Chain A
Amino acid sequence: MITDERFRSIGGEKFWHEAVYYAYENIALSLDAFMLNLYMADISRLYELVKAEIDHIADFDGMDKLPWYSKRFIEGWRKLNVEEVGEEMVKEYEEEHGPVYKRLGPLTDYSEGKYGTLGQVLKRLKLLIKFGIDSGIYSLKEKEQPWEIITSKISFPIDQSLKDNELVKELARFIGEDREDMINQREALQ
Chain B
Amino acid sequence: MTNTQENKTENLTLGPAGFGRFLHDVLVNVQTEITSARTENLYPKGSIFFLYATIDALLSSMEEQNPEDPLVKSLRSEFSRIDEIAGKPLYFYDYAQLELEKLSEIASIIEKILRRLGVMRSGTSEGDDENECSMMEEELK
Q: Does B122 contact A (CB under 8 A)?
A: no
Report the Cα distance A123→B92, complex, angstroms. 10
Contact yes or no, B61 A28, CB < 8 A: no
Contact yes or no, A179 B133, CB < 8 A: yes
Contact yes or no, B57 A129, CB < 8 A: yes
Contacts of A150 in B (CB 8 A): 136
B:14-29 near A, CB below 8 Å: 14-22, 26, 29
Q: How large is the interface on B (under 10, 10 to 19, 20 to 34, 35 or more residues)?
A: 35 or more
Contact with B along A130-172 (1 / 0, CB 8 A): 1011101111111101011011000011100011000011001
Contact yes or no, B16 A122, CB < 8 A: no
Contact yes or no, B53 A28, CB < 8 A: no
Report the Cα distance A143→B97, complex, angstroms. 37
Report the Cα distance A14→B18, complex, angstroms. 9
Report the Cα distance A42→B98, complex, angstroms. 21
Contact with A along B45-65 (1 / 0, CB 8 A): 111011011101110110011
Contacts of B117 in A (CB 8 A): 140
Q: Does A52 contact B (CB under 8 A)?
A: no
Contact yes or no, B50 A24, CB < 8 A: yes
Q: Does A99 contact B (CB under 8 A)?
A: no
Contact with A along B99-141 (1 / 0, CB 8 A): 0000000000000000001110000000001001101110111
CB distance from A190 to the nearest CB of B (A): 10
Q: Does A185 contact B (CB under 8 A)?
A: yes
CB distance from B9 to the nearest CB of A (A): 11
Stretch at the interface among A15-23, A59-67, A103-111: A15-23
Number of residues on chain A facing chain B (CB within 8 A): 60
Contacts A163-B140, A172-B137 known; A20 to B94 CB distance under 8 Å? no
Contact yes or no, A122 B94, CB < 8 A: no
Contacts of B17 in A (CB 8 A): 13-14, 16-17, 20, 132, 137-139, 189
Q: Is the interface of B mostly helix, strand, loop or mixed?
A: helix
Q: Which residue of B19, B46, B139 is within 8 Å of A31 (Cβ)?
A: B46
Q: Which residue of B14, B44, B93 is within 8 Å of A119 (Cβ)?
A: B93
Report the Cα distance A148→B129, complex, angstroms. 7
Q: Which residue of A24, A125, A168, A189 is within 8 Å of B140 (Cβ)?
A: A168
Contact yes or no, B54 A125, CB < 8 A: yes
Contacts of B141 in A (CB 8 A): 163
Q: Which residue of B8, B19, B53, B65 is within 8 Å of A148 (Cβ)?
A: B8
Contacts of B65 in A (CB 8 A): 1
Q: Which 5 A-B pairs have the closest CB atoms?
A: A130-B57, A31-B46, A129-B57, A13-B17, A28-B50
Q: Can you sample 15 A-B contacts with CB below 8 Å?
A: A17-B22, A20-B17, A28-B29, A33-B96, A34-B97, A35-B96, A122-B53, A134-B61, A139-B16, A142-B14, A142-B15, A148-B8, A151-B133, A172-B136, A175-B137
Which residues of A does B touch, CB under 8 Å? 1-2, 8, 13-14, 16-17, 20-21, 23-24, 27-29, 31-36, 72, 117-119, 122-123, 125-127, 129-130, 132-134, 136-143, 145, 147-148, 150-151, 156-158, 162-163, 168-169, 172, 175-176, 179, 185, 189
